Amino acid sequence: MNIIAAVDRNWAIGRNGRLLVTIPRDHKYFREETVGKVVVLGRKTLQTFPQGMPLQGRTNIILSRDASFRVKGAEVVSSLEALKKALEPYPSRDVYCIGGESVYRQLLPWCDTAHITKIDRRYEADACFPDLDRDPEWQMTAESEEQTYFDIAYTFCRYERKK
C-alpha cells in the first residue's frame, strides 16, 4: 500500500482542518499518482474536498468511526477490519492512504511506499505525519531536484519500508 502526503520541515501536514499550503505542482503530482486508483481517507479529510464529495476518477473508501455515515460515490467502513476486507479486491500497489493525521497513523504500518512532498519551510500546525527520517523502518529511495513555487522550495521524495 502507498501513503501520500505533503509535509513541512517538522513533518506537519495541516492546521484547522486545512493543508498548510497549496502548491499546484504538488496537486498535479497527487492527481497523477492517484487517478484510477483506490484512495483511503478519513471523514474529516473528505469534508475538506469541494462540496465534501469523493475524488472523481478514483475508488474512494472512507474510514469513519461513525458506522451510520454515508456518502454518495464512496464506500464507508467503520473499522480497520472492515477496511482490510474492502481492500481485498485491489492490488496493494493501487491503494493510496491520503489522510488525515489519524488515518495516516493507523495505516502507516500497512504501507510499504510513501510519496512525500517535503516543503522547506516551517508552518504553524496542529496535525502531523510520522517523521519517516527518524523511523528506522523507512529509508528515502528517491528525491527530485528542488522545485519552487514563488518563494516556497520543495522536493518530491519516495520512501520505502526496509525489507
| Average pLDDT rounded to a whole number, residues 7-16 | 97
Cα–Cα distance measured from residue 5 to residue 7, given in angstroms and rounded to the nearest whole number = 6
CB 30 within 8 A of CB 4: yes
Task: Please write the tens of the pLDDT for every residue from 33-71.
Answer: 999 999 999 999 999 998 999 999 999 999 999 989 999
- pLDDT at residue 163 in the model: 84
- Average pLDDT, integer, range 7-15: 98
Query: Three-state SS across the chain?
Result: CEEEEEECCCCEEEECCEECCCCHHHHHHHHHHHCCCEEEEEHHHHHCCHHHCCCCCCEEEEECCCCCCCCCCCEEECCHHHHHHHHCCCCHHHEEEEECHHHHHHHHHHCCEEEEEEECCCCCCCEECCCHHHCCCEEEEEECCCEEECCEEEEEEEEEECC
pLDDT of the residue at 94: 98
- The share of the chain scoring above pLDDT 70, in percent, equals 100
Q: Give percent of the chain above pLDDT 90.
A: 98
Query: Given pLDDT bands bounded at 50, 70 and 90, which one contains residue 126?
Result: very high
User: What is the Cα–Cα distance from 161 to 163, expressed in whole angstroms?
Assistant: 6
CATH code for the structural domain at 2-161: 3.40.430.10
Look at strands 18-19 and 12-15 and give their pairing: antiparallel
User: Global pTM?
Assistant: 0.96
Residue 12 and residue 118: Cα distance in Å, rounded? 10
